[in-house]
Structure 1
Amino acid sequence: MSKLPITKHPGIAIVTVLIALLLIWGFWPRPIMVEAVKVDRAPMTVTIEEEGQTRVIDRYVISAPVDGVACRVQFDVGDSVNKDQVLLNISPLASQILDPRARALAEARVAAAKAALESARQQAESAKATAEFYNGEIKRLRPLAAQGVISKDALDKAEMEMLTGEAALRSANHQVRVAEYNLQAAQTALEYTTGTDSNQPAVRVPVRSPITGKVLKLPRECEGPVRTGESLLEVGDPAQLEIVVDVLSADAVKIKPGVNVLFERWGGEQPLEGRVRTIEPVGFTKISALGVEEQRVNVIADITSPSQEWQRLGDGYRVEARFILWHEEDVLQVPASSLFRYDKGWAVFVVENDRAKRRVVRVGQRNGLVAQMLEGIIDGEYVINHPSDEVEDGKRIIEH
């Protein structure tokens, strides 16, 4: 009996078997290497971050009350000034005698300035009464909040109203000072718009500071002619600062008055705390660094941290504002990069028995890094982070 051909050539048989095994091994589905992340509970915060800058709340632009020659300004930016302190003098130009019409107009301006001053004083009294009322409310509500009679939101709202009332009172008091300054300017214009006797020395018009504060800007320093209304210098109180942050209009609708803010990278070691006072109702167009037109809105916030912590801040300083829209301490969350769109919703790949299992989930809050899980997943499970196109439902996987 003759032997089979394969038994005559055992080497060919071995090579054939090896080739078959290699083909099977090469085409056998291999597990996909993935990164698995554990589903956990942790604090979560949803914020909006933008750059802003400090701004003096009440800034006063002091202008020339009359045409004339202004002397050299002896102040530098940052110098302290007191209320009614003479900042510089103006030697008026020789003026013509007023005709009846011009004199009547000047007298009418003085009368209007007096009326404006009286109106500002009445508004200041109203703001004072409002501030005193809110202060009394806070003193009444704080014990109730400590006893749990009222909610913390009600107390926060009352504190916000108190801060708004105090800010309105400060602004009203400054408006009274501005009205007094305007009245003085009108009276000065009436007093010094008559002909002067050439035998008498020239009269100099003093320009005084309306408030106690510091010099913020010097548009001009040298002696020279000035026109009525020309800006001479700006003064303000750097101890009264606000933060102006321009945000995208789409983000501005998410921010409400009273929202807490953290100001970071302002130069200090610890972030400063603040609270949104108002969102301006008018937007503006701004060109981004990439040359894209953006609609932005100014958000005004007050610093609530003690003034001792930010006393080195000044007008126009840069800060980074982080508006806290939502925060919870115990949130079931997964990395936002583990989510993908599926059937008009969201889904993740869960690791089960070394296989990827697609699971539809319901997502809550998101902050760009993590996402809140409301349904579809439990604490302690593992999800695949950054799933590639190779990952499919039921595919074998291996963690690296």
Structure 2
Amino acid sequence: MTDRLPHPQLLLGLAALRDRALAADSLNALAFSIANDPYALLRYHQGLVLAQRGEDLELLCVSGLARPSEDSPYLVWLRRASRWLAGQLPDATPRWLARDAVEPPEDIAEGWAEWWPSGIWCIPLHDRDGKRLGLVLFLLEAPPAETLLPLMDGLWQTWAHCWAAFGGQRRLLAWRPSKRQLLVALAVAGALMLIPVRQTALAPAEIVSRQAEIVSSPIDGVIERMQVRPNQPVEAGTLLFSLDETTLKSRAEVLGKEVAVADAELMAASQRAFDNPQSKSELTLLNGRAQQRRAELAAVQAQLQRTRVRSPRAGVAVFSDPNDWLGKPVVTGERILQVADPAQPAMLIQLPVADAIALEPGAEVTLFLTAYPLSPLKGEVLETSYQARANDEGVVAYRLLASVQGQPEHARLGLHGTAKLYGERVVLGYYLLRRPFAALRAWTGL
């Protein structure tokens, strides 16, 4: 009775094989263990692990080397031979196939004689539902000992259990819908494309005033000082900025002396005219010259008065950094700042041409300010520009002006955000495919 018990080393070896299979963290690692670890027990020429992929078998691992990446003659023949071998294994029972005991096709027999030994021990691996997971082939010169087969049944079951655990996700990925399911999915997708939705577009926007007056330079000159700060409240008549008066004052002094000289010459000519009748003809010329000098002086004095620019109305001074203007030469009519009424805010929207949708006055607008993203502003489109122009960022866009409903406290001038514009209702298919169709027409010209 003691002679029939298996050797302890054999039992330890089988336990080690099962432990390595259970420790595998992927299907490839499991296949490597199946192909290489049993060599100490079976002493095979080669171990092959193939996975069932529908009607075909995919080679996962070859013992002793990495899986070949090219279609060598051996691999081409192995694909045909594996399909034939799968047909010789109707169930999950391992089977010994000797070359002399079977009659394979001629091309498979030739390859067997060239590459394989005299026999193959074939072990099919199935899951609990009886579905074949893969095939394990051990190339041997003789069948394994009869006493070894019952002991290794537990090993085959462990391999199949681990394989099924790794292959569950692969089976889900390999699911393919039926023709009926495809038709139902297409019908549902077509119905969804007909759902009416509102066209929307996103565009950068800024809070501006609906009542703003531009203050420009009244004359050519150099800005000497900005008297107000950005966003400072001002009243009508408040001094905003002043221009350098050095050149004008020098000109006024010169003209003042020229006027005095002209007056002196005119007085001297008038006195000579009493005694010399010929001097009367000079009076008209000298009188005209004196009036010309007075007119030039009056013009320069008027320009001196215009060097101090005052606010035309009450509001808030809107401009950038004052240091950007100090010492800067300006020309007549050049925009310096704005005086805006903060009580009448509006949205200035720059809608890019690529995102433009059909909008009419009265279309709804929602503005999400960057500083207050959870407190959107509502409004309606008041006016739209007829022609698109490049903005400061170089993007060609339409200019839109929209109102702001109510009197929200956070609608401060100069704040930026993103405006969402709502257009007319269209079907979902048009909404999703509008831009792809526009791009296609732009590329193809159709």
State TM-score, norm by structure 2.
0.38
Give the number of the structure whose residues are more often strand, by fraction.
1
Rg (Cα) greater in structure: 2
**Relative contact order, higher structure (CA 8 A, sep 6+):** 1
State TM-score, norm by structure 1.
0.41
